[in-house]
Amino acid sequence: MSDVPGFGSGKAYPRSLVRAAKAAVEDVLAAKRGERFLIISNPNPETRDIAMSLFDAALQAKAVPVLVFQGEKGQFDYTEEEIVKALSAEPQIVLSISKDRLGMDRFGLKHGYKGKRRYDNLFDMLYSEGKMRAFWSPGITIDTFSRTVPIDYSVLRNDCRRTLRAMSKAKSIRVTSPAGTDITVGVKGRVPKSDDGDFRHPGSAGNVPSGEVYVSPAIGSTNGVIAFDGSMALNEGEVVIRRPIVVEVKDGFIKSVSGASEADQLKKSIRSGEVNARSMGKKGEIKPSEAENYRRNARAIGELGIGLNRKAKIVANMLEDEKVYGTCHFAIGSNYDGDADALIHLDGLVKSPTIAIFDGATRREKQLMVDGRLVWN
């Protein structure tokens, strides 16, 4: 397939990448003339080319893009202060196109940002408080971006809308699977969120590629067994699971992890979250009064998400894996409601789940997904 010359960068890109960047800027963000558009990336070849293609697409949309590079950041690295200062200018659109992570916010972890709640990262505060719209793509590759972004968003948004509506009525959600998952998640008082690729309004944000509906479990409400059998995010990269990782959960926290080598890797990642929280508390990088919460929540179940992107597939890259239609995922570590912070957020996939929702209003159980296929009652 022939390359297409860049609009502003002067570099030629594969036509599939140009098409995906155009979809992200126009269909996902609906960027407008004159909007300030900040792209944060790394000089890694793939993320650099994706970022540059987005820069070109933003120029074509008559927006005003600025592209900033920083070195690659991992789970426990800090973002550069220059990035935080760029964010503090409050551009209308911000994209994080990273090899791994954007990085932790040093000031935010120590002092916090005040809004409707306390935030430990300025990026999170700005979109959560409606000051910008954004998407983040940790671990993005050209293959994933080109394949899963230029999709029929009317189909995705319909699937997300109906799933969100069903989950919004839930008091609890039960997930079972052929590999042995049997767990109940309490969600009373929680508001599920939709990552449907519609980031056209201030305060809207999520992943690209998009395609999930997710919820933070009510604190202490998750009980049962999760048999992760798809892929698992670790502190360094992801792994495709060959023998299920079996996790026993009681009152919202992991009590045991068993399996083969993948389970050992997960246990090591969880311990890193605990050890680093305690160490940062001693150094004063996190308030000592909060360090223990960060340590404890490294064993919490922080998310239940349902994958809905029909172009995604399991590729050992959680950015894409968690969007795979016919899967669900649970995250170990921090949640999205800001009342159970941790230094880690490790997603793991469950394949072909059956998901039943206990409706708090009708007090009836309704099936949402059976063996990985959506069903509508």
Share of the chain above pLDDT 90, in %: 90
pLDDT of amino acid 39: 98
Cα(92)–Cα(193) distance, integer angstroms: 21
Helix (H, G, I), strand (E, B) or coil at 156: helix
Q: Tell me what the mean pLDDT of segment 218-246 comes to.
A: 96
Q: Which of 72, 237, 47 is nearest to 142 (CA)?
A: 47
Overall average pLDDT of the 12-35 stretch: 95
Tokens in use for 163? 């799933």
Say what the pLDDT of residue 6 is: 61
Three-class DSSP category at 262: helix
Phi, psi angles (nearest 5°) of residue 63: -80, 180
Q: Checking phi first, is residue 2 left (phi over 0); if not, alpha (psi -120 to 50) or beta?
A: beta
Q: Is 295 exposed, middle or buried (0-12, 13-18, 19+ CB in 10 A)?
A: buried
Kindly tell me if the per-residue pLDDT of 54 is higher than 90: yes
At 9 the pLDDT is 55
Query: What band does 48 get if pLDDT is binned at 50, 70 and 90?
Result: very high
pLDDT at residue 213 above 90? yes
- List 173's β-bridge partners, or say none: 185, 357
Residue 331 confidence (pLDDT): 98
pLDDT in tens, 110-124: 999 999 899 999 999
Please say whether the beta carbons of 164 and 242 come within 8 A.
no
Provide the CATH number for the domain formed by 3-144 in this structure: 3.40.1830
pLDDT at 182 over 50: yes
The torsion defined by the Cα of 279, 283, 286 and 287, in degrees rounded to 10, comes to 120
User: What's the confidence (pLDDT) of residue 76?
Assistant: 87
Residues 295-323: tens digit of each pLDDT: 999 999 999 999 999 999 999 999 999 99
**CATH 3.40.1830 intervals, the chain:** 3-144
Residue 288's SS3 state is: helix
* CA 326 – CA 351 distance, rounded (Å): 7
- pLDDT of 363 strictly over 80: no
Q: Which range is least confidently modeled, 144-148, 153-157, 272-276, 372-376?
A: 372-376
What's the Rg (C-alpha) of the chain? 20
* Confidence category of residue 237, pLDDT binned at 50, 70, 90: confident
Cβ–Cβ < 8 Å for 192, 164:
yes
Mean pLDDT of the chain: 94
Q: Residue 134's beta-bridge partner residues?
A: 94, 205
Task: Write out the H or E segment, with its range, that includes residue 327.
Answer: strand 327-333
